[in-house]
A and B are shown apart, each in its own frame.
Chain A
Amino acid sequence: MAAPAAELTKGGVLAAKFTRPPRSLWTDAWWQFRRHRLAMVALGVLGALVVFTLVGPLVYHTPIDTIDFLQSLKGPSADHLLGTDDLGRDLLARVMFGGRISIAVGITAVLLAITLGTTIGALAGFFSRLDNPLMRVTDLFLSLPGLPLLLVIIYLFRDSLRATFGPELGIFIMIVGVIGILGWMPVARLVRAQFLSLKQKEFVEAARSIGARDRRIIVRHILPNVLSPVLVAATIGVGGAILTESTLSFLGLGFPPDVPTWGRILFDARNYLDIAPHWAIFPGLAIFLTVLSINFIGDGLRDALDPRKTN
C-alpha cells in the first residue's frame, strides 16, 4: 500500500488517510480477483459478448429470417458482416440472436442444477437420517450415462412438450430441465461435504443454544459459508451447460431449425464446410470464446474465494 504514504507527505491529516472503508468478504474477493490477469481479460471478453448479443440486435436491424437466394452462402461483406447461410439469411443477426438463447439456456440450467444440488446436499449434510438415502440417489444419478441419456430423453419427450408449450418454449423448458436434472450431483456432493464439517462448528452450536431452529441454522448460518465454492461451481457450470446445449443442437436434437442457437447454426453449416467455412467458424468462435472466458472467470473466482490464498 504505497498510496497512503504518498498522501502523507503531501497532506496534513494523518488519521483520515489511514482509515479505509470496512472491507467485506466480497470486496476482498474482488481485490483478489482483479489480480488474476487472465480472469479480468475474460471478464471483459464475456461482458463484450453479452453486450453483443443483448444490445446488438437493437442496433443492427437486419432480421434473422429474411431469405434471399441471390445472396446465399456469401462470405463476409459490407452488407452481411459475417456473411450468409444457404438461404441467404444474415449470419451476424443469427449469431447475435443465437447467443441470447445459448446464454439464457446456460444460466437457467445452472440455476436449476444449483438449486437442486444445494437443497439435496444441504438436507443430506444436515440431517443424518437423510444422508444415506439421498447420497444413494446422487450416486445413482452419477451412474447414468449422461449425453446418451440426454439425447434419448429429448428425442422421446420433444413432441409432447412442443405440443404443450409451443415449439420454442417447450424445447427451452426441456433442454434446461434435462441439463439441470442431470447436472446437480457434483453440487450436492460439494454442499453435503461442507455441511458435514460446518455443522460441527461452534457458531452452529451457538446459534442452536440461543434457540435457532434447524431451518434458520441451515439458511442463515451454514448456507452463506457454502456460497463461495457453489459460486465457483456455478460459474464453470454455465460454460458446461452452454457446451451441452450446443452439442445437443449440433446433433440435431436441440432447438428447431428456425431458432438459430450457436450449435444449431453449426449443425446446419457442417455440410457446407468446403464452400462456406465462415458459416461454421463464426458461431463456433462465439461458443469457444464464451466458454473459455467463463472457465477463466471460474478459475479466477476459485483463487479469489480460496481463503488459503489471501495475502
Chain B
Amino acid sequence: MGRYILRRLLIAIPTIIVISFVVYAILALAPTDPLSAFGADPRVPPEVRANIRHQLGLDDPWPVRYVKWVSSLAEGDFGISFMSHSSVMDLIKQRLPNTLAVVGVAYVIGVLLAIPIGMISAVRRYSVFDHVATTFAFVGFSVPTFFTGILLIIVFAINLRWFPFIYDSTLVIDDVPSFLQQVKQSIMPITVLALFDTATIARYTRAEMLEHLPLDYVRTARSKGLKEQVVVLRHVLRNSLIPVVTLVALGVPTVFGGAIVTEQIFRVPGIGELLVTAIGNGDTPVVTAILLIFAVLVVLFNLIADVMYAVLDPRIKYA
C-alpha cells in the first residue's frame, strides 16, 4: 500500500512540473504583451517602459524566466502582481476564504443531499420519487449556473427582496445577527452551486446502486433474512459508494473552476473573481499562480481519488 502511494506520488510530481511548464509557456509565448494595457498609454515614454520591463524581469528569454519563477516558487514566493504591486501569495490568501465559504459549503451540501437522493431513486426505481429526482437531475446539469444565478436574483433578491444580491465580503461574523447576515448572503450562490453538484452526484449514485442491486451477494443477504434496510444500507450502499467517493474527490477541482462563474454573478471576491480580473488586466503573475494552483488541485485530487479507491476496495491490487 505504502509503495503504491509512493509510486502515484512519483507520477504526480512530473505531471505537475510539465503542467506548470505548459501554463508558463502559453502565457509567455502568447502574442499579447502582458504590459499591453500599460504600454498602450501614450504618456509613458519608451525608455520608462523598457525600464519597467527590465525591473519586472521581462527582458530575459522565457525559459530563463521559467526557471527563476520555479525556483522562487520553491520558496513559497509566487511573485508580485503587476496591478496591485502586492505579493500574489497575499492576494490569494485574502481571496481563498471567500471561495471556500461558498464553494466548499455548497459541495458538502451537494454531496450530503445527493447520496440519499440517488439511493432512494435506485431502490424505488421508476417510482414518483425517482421520476422527480431524475427530472431534477437533468435540469440541474442542463441549466447553466449563470442562468440559475440570474433567475434566483430576479426572484429572491429583486422581487421578493429576501436576500441581498451582492456578496459583502467585509462582513465580520462575531454575533448572531451577523452570522444570519452571512447565511442570507450565501444562500443564493450556495444553492446555485449545490444544485449542479447534487444533480451530477445523485445521478451517479443511482447508476452505481442499480448496477449492484441485481447482484448475487444482495440476494444472499436477503435470503439470510436480513432486513431490507440492512441490505440496502450495509451491503449495496457501501459497495456502490466506492466509485462515488472517487467521483466526489475528482469533482473538487471542477467545483473550483465552476465557482468562477458563480463568483462573477454574485460578485463574491474569491479566487475565480481574482482570476477573471487578473486576466482582464493582463496581470500575468496572478494568472500563472492561479492556473498553477488549479492544476495542482486537479493532480492532487486525482491522486487522492486513486488512493481512496485502493483503500476502500480491497479487491484492487496495487502493484
Contact = CB atoms under 8 A, between A and B. Distances in A.
Interface of A: 139-140, 142-149, 151-153, 155-160, 239, 243, 246-247, 250-253, 263, 266, 269-270, 273-274, 277, 280-281, 284, 287-288, 291-292, 294-296, 299
B258 A292 contact: no
B154 A280 contact: yes
A132 to B, nearest CB: 13
11 contacts: A140-B15, A143-B19, A148-B294, A151-B276, A155-B280, A160-B31, A239-B142, A281-B151, A288-B144, A291-B143, A292-B142
Contacts of A246: 144, 146
Interface of B: 15, 18-19, 22-23, 26-27, 30-32, 138-139, 141-144, 146-147, 150-151, 153-154, 158, 165, 253-254, 257-258, 260-261, 264-265, 272, 275-276, 279-280, 287, 290-291, 294-295, 297-299, 302
B262 to A, nearest CB: 11
Contact of A155 (B144, B279, B295): B279
Nearest to B137: A295
Contact of B147 (A145, A146, A288): A288
Contacts of A287: 144, 147
A88 B266 CA distance: 26
Contacts of A146: 254, 257
B144 to A, nearest CB: 5
B285 to A, nearest CB: 13
Contacts of A159: 31-32
A148 B291 contact: yes
B26 A152 contact: yes
A277 B159 CA distance: 10
Given A148-B260, A152-B26, A156-B31, A291 B142 contact: yes
B24 to A, nearest CB: 11
Contact of A157 (B32, B144, B146, B298): B32
**Centre residue among A147, A160, A239 by max chain B CB count within 10 A:** A147
Given A251-B261, A292-B142, A284 B147 contact: yes
Contact of B291 (A145, A251, A252, A295): A145
B144 A145 contact: no
A247 B144 contact: yes
Given A251-B276, A288-B147, 19 more contacts: A142-B298, A143-B19, A143-B299, A144-B22, A148-B291, A151-B260, A152-B27, A152-B291, A157-B30, A157-B31, A158-B32, A160-B32, A247-B261, A263-B144, A273-B153, A277-B158, A284-B147, A291-B144, A296-B138
Nearest to A296: B138
Contacts of A294: 142
B155 to A, nearest CB: 9
Nearest to A295: B142
A284 B32 contact: no
Nearest to A292: B142
B295 A144 contact: yes
Given A243-B144, A274-B158, A148 B18 contact: no
A148 B299 CA distance: 15
Nearest to A284: B147
B119 to A, nearest CB: 20
A264 to B, nearest CB: 12
Contacts of A142: 298
A252 B265 CA distance: 12
Given A147-B258, A152-B26, A157-B31, A277 B154 contact: yes
A155 B32 contact: yes
B240 to A, nearest CB: 19
Contact of A145 (B30, B139, B294): B294
A144 B22 CA distance: 9
Nearest to B299: A143
B150 A280 contact: yes
Nearest to B149: A270
Contacts of B253: 145
Nearest to B32: A156
A311 to B, nearest CB: 16
A83 to B, nearest CB: 14
Contacts of A295: 138, 141-142
Contact of B143 (A151, A277, A292, A299): A292
Contacts of A274: 158
A158 B32 CA distance: 9
A267 to B, nearest CB: 8
Nearest to B250: A142
B142 A288 contact: yes
Contacts of B30: 156-157
Contacts of B158: 273-274, 277
Nearest to B22: A144
